[in-house]
Structure 1
Amino acid sequence: MTVLILALTGGAVVGLVLGALGGGGSVLAVPALIYLLGFTPAAATTASLIIVTATSLTALYAHALAGHVRWKAGAAFAAAGMLPAAAAGAAAAQLPQTALTVAFTAIAALSAIKMLRPAGTARLKAGGVRPGKAAGAGAALGALTGLLGVGGGFLAVPALVTALAFEMDAAVGTSLLVIAVNSLASLATRSGTAASLDWALIGPFIATAILGAWYGKRIAAKVSATHLQRIFAMVLLAVAAFMLVDAVA
């Protein structure tokens, strides 16, 4: 019963962050699965992919209704990341647990630093779309998603803004499509691992994450997004530091 409560709580926190900030919450899923529910790093990344897929598809539906998803451009961006996501997902199963944890802490720290930096205001001029850069960013995001089980919204959104000149609303909505596709591609190579996961814990985690995401949107309407990002970034830095020390100790 205690473990079930931890799963429900962990899912709610991840969902709240996703709903309030529009991204970044999936970075907390892996440490929650490892330290609260006792998953190994490899199992945690697979379970995180399942959680990311479910929550991103739910959020994608809401953004699609609002007209914030550019399907053709998003599909092309996602296509560039499918093979890297699948390859990285297969490679993750062969890597040492410590290597996965160290790599994850580096990405978590990068995510936190990006949130602490002031948002850039530079935008591409009309006609300044860069297909090559978009393809490269899509491939890199796919590899990141497949290897570490994170959605990578903190990388996808800026990539869509700078490489494809998307407005912010469209970038956030379309990034959810990209994340869902990459997660599914990586999961396709992890079918054996997924079958052995503890679904009695993952199911409740996903359920409260989805509910938390809807409530997080209400919080975002009442609290400054910049303030929320700074608080989350500091928490994420602390989590990354703890995981790194625990991995190398």
Structure 2
Amino acid sequence: MEITEILGYVGAVAIGVVLGLIGGGGSILTVPVLVYLLYIEPVTATAYSLFVVGLTSLVGTLRNLGKKLVDVKTALVFAAPALVAVYATRRYLIPAIPDHLFRIGDFMLTKDIGIMVFFALIMLLASISMIRGKCVNCNDDAAEVEYNYPLIILEGTGVGLLTGLVGAGGGFLIIPALVLLAKLPMKRAVATSLLIIAIKSMIGFIGDVENIDIDWGFLLVFSLLSITGIFLGTWLNKFIAGDKLKKYFGWFVLLMGIYVLFKELG
């Protein structure tokens, strides 16, 4: 077994830890791990990411339901439009994108590079909102939840589209929406985001099953390692304040976005 393959499976555990700790960011690790360490081409990697992140998030959700941290009503309002968007994107939009998009001089922008660059740009925008934005009710676990339904539905649709395009669970976009639009305390937003991610990631993966040959043996092993990691992540979550958690999350996303850009365009 090569060192990159070993690091890839270590990365699977890290994906679960990140999901359990911050309620998102698993896909930010999953796609680079699959592409750069395990040498899976990006379109297939984004499909695998949906399954791994979706299944791992479901396990985390079941743990958080027992702790009464999941706001099911908010999750359903957000997830409903996201489900439609993510399935349609994976089933129809991704297969319709040409393999070669355009050429600039000697540089050819391919479908694979385009997906990774778009993924990185979304991460950079999300990181800025998390680092600079005010964290309402971050540490007030008993705060009253307020709903801005039109914006929550709009955000859900947008996240569903992005999830379909780049295979991201969308936690790095969902959490800001839950904190800013539904006024959820940070730790409840983390727990609720896992339910949303689980639902729409698995629906998006269903759209891929009809288009991609799946290596189920590899995918299940990778997912089981990630599930192991989420137990550690949810335990660590108890010891970090919500406002610090938000900013740590933002810096993590920023660094990963910069890395992906340099890797693809450097």
TM-score, normalised on structure 1?
Answer: 0.85
Aligned match of 2:258 = 241
Is 1:219–2:236 an aligned residue pair? yes
Unaligned residue ranges in structure 2 (runs of 5+): 98-110
Identical-pair percentage: 32
Q: Does 1:62 align with 2:63?
A: yes
1:202 aligned onto 2:242: no
**What stretches of structure 1 move > 6 A for 4+ residues in a row?**
224-229
Q: Which residue of 1 aligns with 2:105?
A: none
- CA shift in 2, pair 1:80/1:109, >3 Å: same
2:185 and 2:62 map into 1 onto residues whose CA distance is 19
Shift of 1:128: 5.3
Q: Which of 111, 118, 130 lines up with 1:103 in the alignment?
A: 118
- SS in structure 2 opposite 1:8? helix
Secondary structure of the structure 2 residue equivalent to 1:190 = helix
1: CA distance, partners of 2:39 / 2:82: 30
Cα root mean square deviation, aligned: 2.8
Q: What's 1:130 paired with?
A: 148
Residues 91-123 of structure 1: per-residue CA shift (max 9 Å, x gap): 123331121111111122234334433642379
3-state SS of paired residue (2:210): helix
Instruction: Give me the whole-angstrom Cα distance separating, in 2, the residues matched to 1:43 and 1:22.
Output: 24
Which whole-Å deviations, capped at 9, do the CAs of 1:201-248 have from their partners, x for residues lacking one? Answer: 322221121111211234344566666766665554444333223333
Structure 1 portions without partners, runs of 5+ = none
Which residue is equivalent to 1:174? Answer: 192
Alignment partner of 1:154: what SS? helix
Q: Which moved more, 1:234-243 or 1:105-114?
A: 234-243
Change (3 A) 1:242 1:164: closer
Q: Contact 2:179–2:189 at 8 Å: present in 1 too?
A: yes
Measure, in 2, the Cα distance between the counterparts of 1:206 and 1:119. Answer: 34
Q: How far did 1:182 drift?
A: 1.3
Partner of 1:86: 87
> Are the equivalent residues in 2 in contact too, given 1:21–1:225 (CA < 8 A)?
no
Residue in 2 that maps onto 1:21: 22
Change beyond 3 A, Cα 1:66–1:198 = same
CA 1:246 to 1:24, structure 2 compared with 1: closer, same or farther past 3 Å? closer
Give 3-state SS (helix, strand or coil) of 1:189's partner: helix
Q: Does the CA contact (< 8 Å) of 1:10 and 1:205 recur in 2?
A: no
Indicate the residue corresponding to 1:152 in structure 2: 170
1:154 Cα offset (Å)? 2.2
Could you tell me how far apart the structure 1 residues matched to 2:251 and 2:166 are? 21
What TM-score do the two structures reach when normalised by structure 2?
Answer: 0.80
- The alignment status of 1:120 with 2:135, answered yes or no, reads yes
Native 8 Å contact 2:26 2:53 kept in 1: no
In structure 2, C-alpha distance between the alignment counterparts of 1:73 and 1:228, rounded to whole Å: 21
Q: In structure 1, what is the equivalent of residue 107 of structure 2? A: none
Shift, 1:150, TM fit? 1.0
1: CA distance, partners of 2:196 / 2:249: 23
- Please state whether the residue corresponding to 1:93 is helix, strand or coil: helix
Following the alignment from structure 2 to structure 1, what is the Cα–Cα distance between the partners of residues 14 and 62?
A: 21
Question: Which residue is 1:33 aligned to?
Answer: 34
| Separation of aligned partners in 1, 2:223 and 2:43 | 18
